[in-house]
Structure 1
């Protein structure tokens, strides 16, 4: 069974969705640890309550991003992690880190990539007048929010939506469903990132990201 470590910075709602999917028997992996770059991140309590080891690696304790990322890797390797899952981890990772974990490093981003990379995605969706919004799970590369997409969930933006409502809809209706599913596919071997950047799903290349319609029962 694959060994999964999760990196967080805050509340840990996607972490909780992963833990819940595991408890329901939907995610065939062992959670070996949760790392936060912030003391007191609420997600650490979620991990501890589930019996998952926790660690804090404070970015402010290091002279630069390279040293911080090297310390992260040391912790992850101490746990013998096979996969690293970013769940609200609010740090830009260095090329050395993303290369080291290439093909074993996942992120979820609250937009329909490649639209609205970076921060404040919900407000930017409203400013742009987008008709649709959602979230994307992708393999992480050195290009910020630019790695190959795995699955996207989308919905129609309502005239009544503000940025806070969009954030709630993205989390509740999309993120907590597609992220556990994507991790389950990866740890089971259904999803693979090939060296040239092609995403393979059950032996066939993905020509477009999977969707909510592809979710398996229970997700």
Structure 2
């Protein structure tokens, strides 16, 4: 059975989420503060985390940072009353897979949970792209190897590089990247800037000189293109 950790300091909301998720045949574990959430994450495996940001003891911001620093790649859906674009972008940049503002519709929440679980539970397979250098992608473990060397990528960087490999030699637009990362719910100038920042980080890891990229090119006004060969 799929197990979800729900972290929120509103006890009534915790019970509401527990009841509705259990009705969907999920096993639910709850925590009312960030420290308890971190302890639970160390004690048992989870398939997904629903994480509030404004938590006592340890904030949701710090929870996601620690989780990703430990290379824990399980999906995280941030659920918060902070509904401004900069808050959403910050959460996504820290490693969240989705962000839903309070108040929310339960049907939408469940739909997003199911989408994240489908994305994370793809069967393990190795993909070799047509790009050079060869990128070998292990979807199950969220790992990418470049020339047989493991790249130290965040999950967001992994998803972007995976998409670019699939579309090698073709332009991938910023809205396409946003759709692949977060679904259709978030697209604005702040999100576009967040994608540009992630691309910059990715270049630092796959290019010999990130200031003069030979593989990951910017197509001005449109998006990005991963070349098969160096220019």
More helix, by proportion: 2
Higher relative contact order (CA 8 A, sep 6+): 1
Q: Which TM-score band applies after superposition, normalised by the shorter structure?
A: 0.3 to 0.5
Give the alignment's TM-score, normalised by structure 2. 0.42
TM-score normalised to structure 1 length: 0.43
